[in-house]
Amino acid sequence: MCHRRTSEMSTALQLSLEEYDRMIAAGAFVGMDRHIELIRGELRQMNPAGPVHGDLIMYLLDWSHDQADRSAFLVTGRSGVNMPEVGSRPEPDVFWIHRRRYRDRHPGVSDVVLAIEVADSSLQYDLGEKADLYAEAGLAEYWVFDVPHQRLHVMREPTGKAYNHREIFQIGDSASPSIQPTATLDLQDLFEGE
């Protein structure tokens, strides 16, 4: 008796941005109670925001609206950023983009002047794979708010798959985006304020 050995191989389905857009247009994600992003051609489910995460996002949106030069920048959140260079469309919690209308396309990396993520359970991912993704795509400035340790990681000057300039700010420090140094964020008020 002869036994035939077969090997089955399973691979992840890789999507292009165009295929992802067609899925969205066809309603593929309607009714899903999930936050999904396209990262390096793969659909990734993101953790839902808890109360602290949601509170910090609201604070940062409010701060951004107050501080951003509204004649030059728009502030938004949870909207896609096109990164065809790395087959991705992440959705930062908050980001600043050059002021213009984006009816015909999602903002691209060259439109984004600051991307912000609030990281609680996603800290390793936001400081690791997502930081590498943003650097490789050439995103100018990336901030990660480290909720468990009440710190801010600021990354600037992307080269290759890394940021050349990394700095950590603690409670008692203040930080400003390089694109607008007059916009000062007080970390104590962010993490401990009422």
Q: pTM, whole model, 2 decimals?
A: 0.88
pLDDT at position 50 is 82
- 26-52 residue pLDDT tens: 888 887 777 788 899 888 888 777 889
pLDDT at position 81 is 95
Beta pairing partners, 118: 145
153, 144 in Cβ contact below 8 A?
Answer: yes
Contacts of 42 (CB under 8 A, 6+ apart): 12, 13, 14, 15
Among 185, 186, 192, which Cα is nearest to 68's? 185
Does position 4 have pLDDT exceeding 70, yes or no? no
pLDDT at position 10 is 60
Q: Tokens 């420090």 — which residue? A: 173
Residues in the chain: 194
User: Which overall architecture, per CATH, does domain 48-192 show?
Assistant: Alpha-Beta Complex (3.90)
Long-range Cβ contact pairs of 23-28 (< 8 A, separation 24 or more): none
Q: Tokens 């801010």 — which residue? A: 152
Place 8 in a pLDDT band, splitting at 50, 70 and 90.
Answer: low
How far apart CA 185 and CA 38 sit, in angstroms, is 30
Q: Tokens 């984004």 — which residue? A: 112
pLDDT at position 57 is 95
Position with higher pLDDT, 17 vs 98: 98
pLDDT at position 13 is 77
Does position 2 have pLDDT exceeding 60, yes or no? no
Report the range of poorest mean pLDDT among 18-22, 57-61, 155-159, 188-192. Answer: 18-22
How far apart CA 60 and CA 69 sit, in angstroms, is 15
pLDDT at position 33 is 74
Does position 12 have pLDDT exceeding 80, yes or no? no
Beta pairing partners, 142: 115, 155
Tokens of 43: 């659909």
